[in-house]
Structures are given as structure tokens and as C-alpha cells.
């Protein structure tokens, strides 16, 4: 009898029980669903301005400056608000530049809005505005 069992080996079938793992995963999913805070979408999509103060890498960018006394300068010359579209369109012939509006902090928001709308009316696709980086809170 001893000789008969020497050649045979006994193997037990290994079995991994997945039920406890599935139970744990389901408890975690339910916990995450209950503790999540859902935000209601107001239904209006808003483009947020980038105010990080990063420098534009575009070398073909056109610049318009608005001074503190609401005067508008393009290429070193003072222009009126109604001239912005024509001047920018003339400067953009043959290329597709972006336009950067540099407004003084104390300039009038109405002047900035008028310059922005005239710049968009000229056909420039990328109109940006320059900001400065805040030093701290």
C-alpha cells in the first residue's frame, strides 16, 4: 500500500471567491454616489477669460493700447474708435494675426468694449487682452 501512493500526488483545486470583493466594490460605489455633490448646470455656456498674464507667443500679433485717458493707439498713432476696424483690417492683409488689446487699469470699460467689438468686426478671429499677474492674495 505504501508503494501505490508514492507515484500519485494529490492536488487540491484552488478556488478564489469573488463575492466578498464584489460586495466591497458595490459598497464603495454606493458610498461615492451618495456623498457626491452634483452641480446644476445653469443652461448657459460662458467663455471664461484667461487672466493668467501669460505672454502670447505669436510674433504676428497686432497691438492696440488704450491709455488711462481713453485714447486709443495703434502702431504708435492715435486713432478713433470708429477707425479701429479699418486700421486693423488694413494691417492684417495677407496674414492671419491675432490682436492684443492692452488697456490701462483706469481706462473706461465702454471704450474697451467698443474697441473689442470693432476689432471683431474687422474679421480678426483671435482677439485677446493683456493682463498683469497678481503678486499675491
Residue 105 to residues 25, 28, 61, 65, 108, Cα–Cα distance (Å):
55, 51, 21, 12, 9
Alpha carbons 54 and 52: distance in angstroms, whole number: 5
| Vertex 81: Cα angle to 114 and 112 (nearest 5) | 35
Measured CA to CA, the distance from residue 30 to residue 131 in angstroms comes to 45
pLDDT at res. 26: 96
| Predicted TM-score of the model (pTM) | 0.54
Grid coordinates given for 116: 473689442
pLDDT of residue 132: 62
Grid cell 507515484 — which residue? 7
Residues of the chain falling short of pLDDT 50: 39-50, 53, 56, 134, 136-137
Ordered by where they begin, the domains of the chain are: 2-35 (no CATH), 62-129 (3.30.420.270)
Amino acid at each position: 500500500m505504501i508503494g501505490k501512493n508514492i507515484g500519485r500526488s494529490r492536488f487540491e483545486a484552488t478556488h478564489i471567491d469573488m463575492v466578498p470583493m464584489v460586495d466591497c466594490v458595490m459598497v464603495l460605489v454606493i458610498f461615492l454616489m451618495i456623498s457626491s455633490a452634483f452641480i446644476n448646470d445653469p443652461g448657459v455656456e460662458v467663455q471664461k477669460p484667461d487672466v493668467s498674464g501669460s505672454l502670447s507667443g505669436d510674433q504676428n500679433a497686432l497691438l492696440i493700447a488704450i491709455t488711462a485717458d481713453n485714447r486709443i493707439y495703434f502702431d504708435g498713432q492715435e486713432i478713433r474708435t470708429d477707425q479701429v476696424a479699418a486700421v486693423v483690417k488694413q494691417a492684417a492683409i495677407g496674414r492671419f494675426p491675432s490682436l492684443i488689446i492692452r488697456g490701462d487699469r483706469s481706462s473706461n470699460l465702454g471704450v474697451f468694449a467698443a474697441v473689442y467689438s470693432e476689432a471683431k468686426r474687422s474679421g480678426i478671429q483671435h482677439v485677446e487682452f493683456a493682463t498683469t499677474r497678481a503678486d499675491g492674495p
